[in-house]
Amino acid sequence: MPVENASPFAAPIAEQIWDMKYRLKDLSGTPKDVTVQDTWRRIAKDLARVEADPAAWEDRFYAALEGFKFLPAGRIIAGAGTGRDVTLFNCFVMGTIPDSMAGIFDMLKEAALTMQQGGGIGYDFSTLRPKGAPVMGVAADASGPLTFMDVWDSMCRTIMSAGSRRGAMMATMRCDHPDIEEFITAKQDSKRLRMFNLSVLITDPFMDAVKADADWPLVFGGKTFRTVKALDLWNRIMQSTYGYAEPGVIFIDRINKANNLGYCETISATNPCGEQPLPPYGACLLGSVNLARLVINPFTEKAELDANALDELVRTSVRMMDNVVDASKFPLPQQEAEAHAKRRIGLGVTGLADALLMLGLRYGAEDAVRQTRVWMKAIARSAYLASVDLAKEKGAFPLFDAKKYLKSGFMQKMDKDVRDAIAQHGIRNALLTSIAPTGTISLYAGNVSSGIEPVFAYAYTRKVLQKDGSRTEEEVVDYAVQMWRDLYGDAALPDYFVNAQTLAPKDHVAMQAAAQEWVDSSISKTINCPEDISFEDFKDVYMAAWDLGCKGCTTYRPNDVTGSVLSVEPEKKTEPAPAPAPVAAAQPAPPLARDEVLQGETYKLKWPDSQHAIYVTVNDTMDADGTRRPFEVFINSKNMEHFAWTVALTRMISAVFRRGGDVAFVVEELKAVFDPRGGSWMKGKYVPSILAAIGNILEQHMTAIGFIADRSAIAQEVVDAPLASKPKGQACPSCGEFSVIHEDGCEKCTSCLWSRCG
């Protein structure tokens, strides 16, 4: 085992996360939680206050939190016991949208109120009539659901600009809605619906029609608008997610058939990351059992997960989460009523991949799949039996109907002793298990593997912003890898250490299906696919998810649109440096002399939606060895909106160029600039901003004159990451670093720790 030290944090990044996101501070920024133990005590005390014997339960709750064994969702860690008027619930599905103008904008108001408190929301837009359908009484045609989604998108942007914590949004649409084809391709416009995740609600009859290559009617209000081939529509969904990473698919009939509450609700949407299918006004809170902290004798022949400790931890966690239902505030009264009527909770896991590694199991292998199924069933049993005990003590959830409840698809496969206990005593919580994104809390717990995801990278370098504005680098190491280092030093990692980039997609699907079997809600999971996967093999991933019983499927394939997932940096050889000779104080290099006549090129840049073109002129000079190098830049446009920054950019870039040396870094700095309003497509490639487009022009020019190598000829390979590697992906909207990765069905920045899902 690792050597114990005075700090409960397993890594510096864990303490930073706690301080940034979860530590209670007063209005001046002075910490009220002096230590993380104070944070655990604050949470335990607040969740125990609804008990008949608060003091006894406070200590038991504290013991579950201690050592990062039970990880309530970040909203609970940050909000419980603070006295703030906040919701402790993570995710909501809003009410059914009426097909009327008044009803639509009533729903928009409710969404704004929920997002104002930071809640992630889901909406089903299938209830809105399709584009071109008549609007009775006003002699007009409907604009269709996509136009109203644009309104929601603008609302979310407005709330973000006001400084509120971001609440992500999910939009769903049925596979038989007449506007489904427009929905599928909506986000191929780089500026549209950026605040939404999109998923298609896939029905069982549609999958039957796909496999039979049958016709598929698109209907609304009982009227068939047109008929398409089901396989053609499926291929359109696949082509879009292959190229653009959206939409995802949700197997909605499978969800409703398995639902314990199928007798009193119908589900048509999920929360933004997909792990919580919820009815109208449904709300759910989340928490995770940290499996990585429950393994004893790790990396030895005696390694095992402590079954008794798991059972006790799950039972305590269920009680804590049930108490959150009573302790929390809600954005809307309808959400509060729904939560109290059904008392839904979403207890999941994190650190699964690390726990498997400690047992010597390779993620995705048959023995790891079997072990995952065993652990998830054990968690389900303990959770359901704990909820039965709560029902004996505090009563079943108000809408409980034993006969109907036990007929659900999920309860039909539950062990007989559990079913008998529910029939006799009832159950406190209608649904209990879910596997949610745990990106931030898994870092807080020492960088354990997230949710049921494989290890993303064994280690990577993170840039840390210092108080003086500078950035330093620190290594972030996976929890299991660090444990291996502590035990065996520099010994090579065993072959069963695999990561998200090196795994075959079928391994991801197998693990998701194994976990789903004993999860009554759903799972947030990203199936990483290699960039060069064929379209047919890519489609097979989704068909495998369907055939193996998953409730949905989300993939990520790196490409020019979505960005790279992993960039591997070659390890640098360390050589002894020669002793420095004494030198005078460094003096800035003088500017290069300018000849009266310079050779150059002018490039025309037409940015979409801009009234006037931008003209970029690059003039060159010659080095003594005959190398042509860029000397100055002029950027001009008739658009006065651009005047100030184009003049500033002209002067700054020219000043750098005139100092000589290797100035190619200017290209990379400009190309890294993103516009939060969205970039644009140029010559078949996504460009994140006008400044990035100028960077591309400079790169094109430097390549043409031979100043830099032709980078398009350099193949980028994704390989098994050494410990010196770091994730690299899309630009982060918070820090601008190209460090956004896709994990748990969500996006997070490995540099500044921003997360799309909060």
Which residues are part of the catalytic machinery? 271, 273, 275
Task: Read off the tokens for 231.
Answer: 């396989």
Cα distances (Å, whole numbers) of residue 665 to 297, 605, 702: 49, 21, 11
The total number of residues written for the chain in this structure: 758
Answer yes or no: are the C-beta atoms of 554 and 528 closer than 8 Å.
no
Answer yes or no: are the C-beta atoms of 115 and 162 closer than 8 Å.
no
Angle among Cα 314, 316, 321 to the nearest 5 degrees reads 90
CA dihedral 230, 231, 234, 235 (to 10 degrees): -150
Task: Read off the tokens for 144.
Answer: 């269709």
Answer yes or no: are the C-beta atoms of 713 and 727 closer than 8 Å.
no
3-state secondary structure of 475: strand
Answer yes or no: are the C-beta atoms of 741 and 435 closer than 8 Å.
no
- 585 burial (CB, 10 Å; 0-12 / 13-18 / 19+) is exposed
Residue with tokens 């400079």: 698
Give the residue from 268, 287, 288, 286 showing the smallest Cα distance to 278. Answer: 268
3-state secondary structure of 342: helix
DSSP 467: T
CB atoms within 10 A of CB 329: 14
As a whole number of angstroms, the distance between CA 705 and CA 663 comes to 14
As a whole number of angstroms, the distance between CA 726 and CA 581 comes to 36
Angle among Cα 223, 227, 230 to the nearest 5 degrees reads 125
3-state secondary structure of 625: coil
Three-class SS string for 273-295?
CCCCEECCCCEECEEEEEHHHCE
As a whole number of angstroms, the distance between CA 438 and CA 73 comes to 8
Angle among Cα 353, 378, 361 to the nearest 5 degrees reads 30
As a whole number of angstroms, the distance between CA 365 and CA 348 comes to 22
Task: Read off the tokens for 425.
Answer: 């005593």
Residue with tokens 């790279």: 564
**Displacement of CA 64 from its chain's centroid (Å):** 26
Answer yes or no: are the C-beta atoms of 119 and 89 closer than 8 Å.
yes
DSSP 432: -
What residues contact 339, with CB distance under 8 A and at least 6 apart? 89, 283, 325, 328, 330
Phi, psi of 131 (to 5 degrees): -60, 135
As a whole number of angstroms, the distance between CA 663 and CA 657 comes to 6
Residue with tokens 């290797």: 662
Residue with tokens 């909605």: 252
As a whole number of angstroms, the distance between CA 264 and CA 286 comes to 22
- Where are the alpha helices (H) located in 117-229, listed in sequence order? 145-161, 180-185, 204-212
As a whole number of angstroms, the distance between CA 175 and CA 253 comes to 12
Task: Read off the tokens for 10.
Answer: 């397993």
Cα distances (Å, whole numbers) of residue 485 to 107, 459, 493, 657, 672: 53, 12, 9, 46, 35
Tell me which H or E stretch contains 371.
helix 366-394
Tell me which H or E stretch contains 217.
strand 215-220
